Amino acid sequence: MKLLPLVACAGCVRAPRSGFRFLAFAAVAGLTALLIPVAQAQDAAPNDPDSRPIEVAQATVLAAAAGSEAALAAPSAAKPKKTRFIIGLDRKVTYSVSTLSEPNRVIVELPDARIELPQLDGDRPQGLVKALRNGLSAPGRQRIVIDVTSPVVIEKSRLDKSPEGTGYHLTLEIAPLQAALARNQKGLDAGQMKLGVQPPLPRPAEKPSARAARAFKPVIVIDPGHGGHDTGATKFGTVEKNVVLAFSKMLRDKLEATGRYRVLMTRDTDVFIPLDDRRAFGERHNANLFIAVHADYASTRARGATIYSLRDGVADRLKRSAQADAEDDVLSKAELAKVEKAASASGDVDTVKDMLADLKRREIDTTKERTSIFARTVIEYMGGSTNLRDDPDQQAAFRVLKTAQFPSVLIELAYVSNRQDAEQLNSDAWRNKVSGSIKTAIDNYFGQSLARLPL
Does residue 128 carry a pLDDT above 70? Answer: yes
Does residue 268 carry a pLDDT above 50? Answer: yes
**171 vs 74, which has greater pLDDT?**
171
Q: Are residues 320 and 227 in the same domain?
A: yes
**Pairwise CA distance, residues 53 & 51, whole Å:** 6
| pLDDT tens sequence across 360-390 | 666 666 777 888 889 999 999 999 999 998 8
Q: Is residue 205 part of a domain?
A: no
**Pairwise CA distance, residues 281 & 250, whole Å:** 20
Supply the CATH number for residue 425's domain. 3.40.630.40
Confidence at 33, pLDDT banded by 50, 70, 90? very low
**Pairwise CA distance, residues 326 & 318, whole Å:** 11
**Pairwise CA distance, residues 215 & 230, whole Å:** 39
Q: Are residues 298 and 183 in the same domain?
A: no
**Pairwise CA distance, residues 406 & 317, whole Å:** 17
Residue 17 and residue 91 in contact, taking contact as beta carbons nearer than 8 Å: no
Q: Is residue 19 part of a domain?
A: yes
Secondary structure class of 65 (helix, strand, coil): coil
pLDDT at position 78, please?
58
**163 vs 55, which has greater pLDDT?**
163
Q: Is residue 197 part of a domain?
A: no
Highest mean pLDDT among 98-112, 182-196, 392-406: 98-112
Q: What angle do CA 275, 278, 284 make, to 5 degrees?
A: 140
Q: Are residues 219 and 71 in the same domain?
A: no
Q: Are residues 323 and 433 in the same domain?
A: yes
Q: Is residue 144 part of a domain?
A: no
Given the DSSP bridges, would you call strands 53-56 and 12-14 parallel, antiparallel or unpaired?
antiparallel
Q: What angle do CA 14, 18, 21 make, to 5 degrees?
A: 100
Written as one letter, the residue type at 129 is V
Written as one letter, the residue type at 260 is R
Q: What is the DSSP letter of 125?
A: -
Q: Is residue 353 part of a domain?
A: yes
Q: Are residues 289 and 410 in the same domain?
A: yes
pLDDT at position 242, please?
96
**Pairwise CA distance, residues 220 & 282, whole Å:** 8
Structural domain including 26 reads 3-92+118-127+151-188
**Pairwise CA distance, residues 294 & 223, whole Å:** 9
Does residue 400 carry a pLDDT above 60? Answer: yes
pLDDT at position 37, please?
29
Q: Are residues 300 and 431 in the same domain?
A: yes
Q: Is residue 100 part of a domain?
A: no
Q: Are residues 358 and 305 in the same domain?
A: yes
Average pLDDT over residues 230-237: 94
Q: Is residue 201 part of a domain?
A: no
Average pLDDT over residues 27-55: 33
pLDDT at position 359, please?
59
Written as one letter, the residue type at 80 is P
pLDDT at position 406, please?
84
**Pairwise CA distance, residues 359 & 404, whole Å:** 11
Q: Are residues 399 and 307 in the same domain?
A: yes
Does residue 404 carry a pLDDT above 80? Answer: no
**186 vs 19, which has greater pLDDT?**
186
Q: Is residue 195 part of a domain?
A: no
pLDDT at position 313, please?
56
The model's pTM is 0.50
Q: Of 434, 423, 427, which Cα lies nearest the Cα of 235?
A: 423
Q: Are residues 169 and 280 in the same domain?
A: no
Low-confidence winner among 33-37, 220-224, 404-408 (lowest mean pLDDT): 33-37
Residue 374 and residue 441 in contact, taking contact as beta carbons nearer than 8 Å: yes
pLDDT at position 367, please?
78
Q: Are residues 218 and 168 in the same domain?
A: no
Q: Are residues 372 and 245 in the same domain?
A: yes
pLDDT at position 424, please?
96
**Pairwise CA distance, residues 186 & 413, whole Å:** 63
Q: 10 Å Cβ neighbour count for 53? A: 15
The tally of domains found in the chain comes to 2
Q: Are residues 326 and 432 in the same domain?
A: yes
Share of the chain above pLDDT 70, in %: 61
Residue 20 and residue 115 in contact, taking contact as beta carbons nearer than 8 Å: no
pLDDT at position 12, please?
31
pLDDT at position 212, please?
65
Q: What is the DSSP letter of 399?
A: G
Q: Of 112, 57, 115, 60, which Cα lies nearest the Cα of 85?
A: 115
